[in-house]
Amino acid sequence: MSDKRKPRSSLLEAIHETAKDLYEGGSIDKRRMAHFDALCLQPVPEFGAEQIRALREKYRLSQAVLASVLNTSLSTVRQWEIGAKHPSGPSRKLLDLLERKGLEGVT
């Protein structure tokens, strides 16, 4: 249940680690652990059209290849880059991984 994102502070890191141990020990349920995840971990950032285009160009990917890497359609990537749509959920997480860890972190 626990996420691998970096905690906001050392105090929140300690709280999250304790909650994780309690969850793994069966003392708290999945719903409560999700609550601790939401409180203690940094949210996945949003990506605008320019950021997506810059990220794609940084790794020299075509829109079609980026779509394949993110397991989405070419038209979706095109719409992100013109600002008609915005990535959400798993796509935002994969874009964040691509930005932080490169292609090896996504594939």
Quick one: 54 and 102 in the same domain?
yes
Q: How many structural domains comprise the chain?
A: 2
Domain check: are 58 and 83 in the same one? yes
Query: Does residue 33 share a domain with residue 54?
Result: no
In a domain, 58, yes or no: yes
Rounded Cα–Cα distance for residues 75 and 105 (Å): 24
Q: Is residue 1 part of a domain?
A: no
Residues 31 and 79 both lie in one domain: no
Q: How far apart are CA 10 and CA 31, in angstroms?
A: 23
Residues 30 and 57 in one domain: no
Q: Is the four-CA dihedral 69, 70, 71, 74 of positive or negative sign? A: negative
pLDDT of residue 74: 97
Question: Residue 79's domain is classified under what CATH number?
Answer: 1.10.260.40
> Domain containing 102: what range?
49-106
Note whether 31 and 64 are same-domain residues. Answer: no
- pLDDT for 39 equals 80
What is the chain's pLDDT, residue by residue, as a tens digit (107 residues)? 444 555 567 888 888 889 999 999 999 999 998 888 888 777 789 999 999 999 999 999 999 999 999 999 999 999 999 999 999 989 999 999 999 889 887 87
36 plus 54 within the same structural domain:
no
